[in-house]
Amino acid sequence: MKMASRTKTSLLHLLLGALALLISLVTVKGESPYKYYTWTVTYGIISPLGVPQQVILINGQFPGPTLDVVTNDNIILNLINKLDQPFLLTWNGIKQRKNSWQDGVLGTNCPIQPNTNFTYKFQTKDQIGTYNYFPSTAFHKAAGGFGAINVYSRPGIPIPYPLPVSDFTLLIGDWFKTNHKTLQQKLDSGGILPFPDGLLINGQTQTTFTGDQGKTYMLRISNVGLASSFNLRIQGHTMKVVEVEGSHVIQTDYDSLDIHVGQSLAVLVTLSQTPKDYYIVASTRFVRSNLSVMGLLRYSNSRVPASGDPPALPPGELVWSMRQARTFRWNLTANAARPNPQGSFHYGTITPTKSFVFSNSAPLINGKQRYAVNGVSYVNSETPLKLADHFNIAGVFSTSAIQSVPSNSPTTVATSVVQANLHEFLEIVFQNNEKSMQSWHLDGYDFWVVGFGSGQWTPAKRPLYNLVDALTRHTTQVYPNSWTTILVSLDNQGMWNMRSAIWERQYAGQQFYLKVWNPVQSLSNEYNPPDNLLLCGKAIGRPI
């Protein structure tokens, strides 16, 4: 009996030991994967529009390398700057949870000096979808340096559509033949940008995507241009929108899609037609003269070139486009990066704690063309605002320059910050009293786009809001002489850039920073600055 008891005890100890080992292994393997990259930024000479010009290459590529990652992957990316100017990349749409230290804009980061490097460290935390990156410094975006970020779902987390055979990335945007430094000098002297010289798809004027008849493919589309909205069509095929900037949507088929500057979405296209080549056409919208670029959708068994007229632009612009924008709806039963349904957060039942109306304008200041928000034109500081805030450096930015509603006061210049508290819930109205299309982006967040309307916004417009299944995204259009309302849940502490995605307007003042803070500092709210934090301006010499 004693021998049997000891045997049972030994077996129990072995089982407990094996269980502890298993738990430890699971714990070790439970950390999200790390992915390491080294990117070198250089100039190169290519001819996107048939004329040799200097562009920005990343690892010799134009556009830059695609970041194909999975939800919650940890990205360790060493960026080596071989340009003759300071440089930064920003990760358009990546939320940088508790980590505005890695946002890659001049309000949060010192730029990477020539012949030096900086290692970005961030996580695609609880995100899935179609995004992109681009340079945020100087006017580098006009020279390239942009690329795709595709964040795929974790295994075991279902997506609400059959897996496509594969993905195609379409980076579409307007392009200038003029050197980016010349364009920047034009803006610095108080001028405006000329009209773009053309459109590109993946850095080219002729691009072909090949697939098999009867199969379904995903097209991940981003507007990486400087100024132009575009409409996309595929001859003989419809596009089923399934994801917009990280949100799964009610799946709807479209013959054409308006996509505005800074926006991204994913569509499914089934090759269900007669085997041949079909035109893919992108054309500018809301501008005085149209530009177009054509690619090809080629069936792998095609022996017939594309023929007939390319698909035409849809009739009308503003009314048609605004109606289409209202058809994008959140899929309340589908999950996104996490298994809980997207609609489990009932945004429409929350009373906003603060309301803002931000009106864009295009004033002349000292004879130079500038752009402003509520009468304040933003100017960059040599000391990043995030560093000034962290080190309590006074005099770098102003939290009183921008008022919560427009006024008739003369336009001023300031390094402007709007301050709000962690966990507040904001109503933000973008009021556009100009004749041009606007596009607004908020770093670090997505938001519910609850309303579009023509004319002047008033509180009486609130009953028009969609408080049930409005789409979440990080960039929204604001139509000419119109308004757009978003709701934002401030769940991400830090210093976040709210800017025009129209790059000329951003460069010349149509931006500010949103400081989301809590008086009690805690690692549960925000990470400490990274060990490799770059210091510049008044932050030089401060202990990290």
Query: Which tokens in the block code for residue 199?
Result: 């459109």
The residues facing 229 across adjacent strands are 285
Token pair, residue 535, equals 């210091």
pLDDT tens by residue, 280-325: 999 999 998 899 999 999 999 999 999 999 999 999 899 999 999 9
Report the alpha-carbon distance of residue 481 to residue 435 in Å, rounded.
6
The answer to whether the beta carbons of residues 46 and 35 sit under 8 Å apart is no
Average of pLDDT values for 385-396? 98
d(CA 123, CA 100): 12
Give the per-residue pLDDT at 31.
Answer: 84
- Compute the CA torsion angle 501, 503, 508, 513 (nearest 10 deg): 30
pLDDT at 20 over 80: no
Position 9 pLDDT exceeds 50:
no
C-alpha to C-alpha distance for 294 and 330, rounded to whole angstroms: 31
Amino acid (one-letter) located at 76: I
Count helices and strands in the chain by DSSP H and E runs: 5, 34
pLDDT-derived band at 544 (thresholds 50, 70, 90) equals confident
As a whole-number percent, the residues of the chain with pLDDT over 90 amount to 92
DSSP letter assigned to residue 377: E
| Residue percentage of the chain with pLDDT more than 70 | 94
pLDDT at 29: 47
Given a cut of 90, is residue 23 above it in pLDDT?
no
Rounded Cα distance between 502 and 508, Å, is 10
Q: Residue 343 in contact with residue 332, Cβ under 8 Å?
A: yes
Residue bearing tokens 């960039």: 475
Looking at residue 180, its pLDDT comes to 98
Q: What pLDDT does residue 439 have?
A: 98
Q: How confident is the model at residue 144 (pLDDT cuts 50, 70, 90)?
A: very high
Q: Is the pLDDT of residue 374 over 50?
A: yes
Mean pLDDT of 38-63: 98
Residue 10 has pLDDT above 60, yes or no: no
Q: Is the pLDDT of residue 26 over 80?
A: no
What's the topology of domain 347-539?
Immunoglobulin-like (2.60.40)
Spatial strand order of the sheet with 292-299 comes to 208-211, 292-299, 277-285, 229-234, 256-259
- Residue that wins the pLDDT comparison between 276 and 16: 276
Q: Where along the chain do its domains lie?
A: 347-539
pLDDT of residue 30: 64
pLDDT per position as a tens digit, 520-535: 889 999 999 999 999 9
Residue 187's φ and ψ, nearest 5 degrees, are: -70, -40
Closest C-alpha to 480, from 360, 327, 328 = 360
Q: Are 525 and 395 in contact (CB under 8 A)?
A: no
pLDDT in tens, 401-436: 999 999 989 999 999 999 999 999 999 999 999 999
User: Residue range 137-148: average pLDDT?
Assistant: 98
**In the predicted model, is pLDDT for residue 3 greater than 90?**
no
Listed in order, strand segments (DSSP E) in 32-128 are 34-46, 53-58, 67-70, 74-81, 89-92, 116-123
Quick one: pLDDT at residue 521? Answer: 86
pLDDT confidence of residue 19: 38
CA max distance for the chain: 101
Q: Which residues of 352-363 are buried (b: 16+ CB within 10 A; e: fewer)?
A: eeeebbbbbbbe
pLDDT at 11 over 50: no
Note the pLDDT of residue 477.
98
Q: What is the pTM of this model?
A: 0.94
pLDDT band, residue 273 (cuts 50/70/90): very high
Distance spanning both ends of the chain, measured CA to CA: 66
Residue 25 has pLDDT above 90, yes or no: no
pLDDT tens by residue, 465-503: 999 999 999 999 999 999 999 999 999 999 999 999 999
